[in-house]
Chain A
């Protein structure tokens, strides 16, 4: 499946992801970053499709785009609503930040491209994984699955508890 269209589409999505991610980071406006994060997530989802993990792609879209991102935006608006601070957010120790950013990226890329000893195995994943994910979830990963669900429940309750207002003794939380 190395048709040029495939490659082109891949590069499109890759670029979308990376640039929007960069925009997320570098834009000064929280709202903008939030929206560009939306594109990043879409791009990642697309990459998941390329990685033949369609189920995950859907989950990505549903959870991230439908959940987290809305949550973030909600938080942004929300905080804006209750607080009248401007949405510009300035930065601190920018120099070490950039240095480390560049350094990390460079180092990692260097590693990848110098030590290219990846040996792709013969049995690669193909096609849709939904069924296998279902099997795995119910067979191998049933315990993590349960634990994760409990964790999620606890997290939601905790979030609700933490975020509630009108308790005067919130200050000691």
Chain B
């Protein structure tokens, strides 16, 4: 119990692990493309937490800057992804990812 207080690096890592796991789970299992996107966002957040945590306890600015960029890129990615989703719907008349298997054979 003593290693729950004080708050250390492991706490943040743990949170990020959970976020990562959930995100992966969403990406793997959910059929709705938008939920898949949410999963991706979760993964990105997990990564960010890691970056910041390490950079805090390491004292460098690299992690901070990197997570900043990650956020920006995440925004871009979300925009593109939604556009793609809309196109997918236009073509396949659904946002069900599992029904999109034209790559098969």
Contact = CB atoms under 8 A, between A and B. Distances in A.
Contacts of A12: none
Interface in B44-78: 45, 48-49, 52-53, 55-59, 61, 64-65, 67-69, 71-78
Contacts, number: 251
Interface of B: 4-15, 17-26, 28-32, 34-35, 37-39, 41-42, 45, 48-49, 52-53, 55-59, 61, 64-65, 67-69, 71-80, 82-87, 89-91, 93-95, 98
Interface residues of A, number: 91
Given A24-B26, A136-B65, A2 B34 contact: no
Given A10-B7, A162-B84, A133 B64 contact: yes
A136 to B, nearest CB: 5
B83 to A, nearest CB: 4
Contacts of B32: 30, 89
A92 B34 contact: no
B76 A151 contact: yes
23 contacts: A4-B5, A14-B11, A21-B22, A22-B18, A24-B38, A25-B26, A47-B49, A48-B52, A51-B52, A53-B52, A53-B67, A63-B71, A71-B82, A75-B86, A89-B35, A91-B29, A97-B25, A101-B24, A105-B21, A132-B61, A133-B68, A170-B87, A171-B90
